[in-house]
Structure 1
Amino acid sequence: MKVIVDQDACVGSGQCVLAAPEVFDQRDEDGIVVLLEENPPSGQADDVRQAAAVCPALAIRVEE
């Protein structure tokens, strides 16, 4: 699994951090997504897929 984020599309809602805090964080100054783990372990795959699904800006893409 590979995770790709589009920081330009991100609206800073933080839903990704709530769904997968080991993989996503937010910048302090503006709340834009920060990818912590481009290739997360398989045990986090469901959380990452959930994060992508709930992103209101569709700024997270998952390649299986």
Structure 2
Amino acid sequence: MKITGFLVLSFLLFALTATSFPVAVHAKDPAAVLDVYGNEVTAGANYLIGAASSDFAVSATGSV
């Protein structure tokens, strides 16, 4: 029962994220997604994603 509740909560969180940021998720115009320096996000480039605050900060690297 706990696993089912966790899966439902995970799905709802994913759905909320996908519907809250449709421009960032499905951007057709490269200028719609900018990095911290104001440059357009480039496909295939490496980016460091980090939090502005050290509270609950998570960072990851990978290709866009």
Shorter-normalised TM range = under 0.3
Q: Which has the larger radius of gyration?
A: 2
Is the helix fraction higher in 1 or 2?
2
With normalisation by structure 1, the TM-score equals 0.22
With normalisation by structure 2, the TM-score equals 0.22
Is the strand fraction higher in 1 or 2?
1
Structure with more relative contact order (C-alpha pairs < 8 Å, separation 6 or more): 1
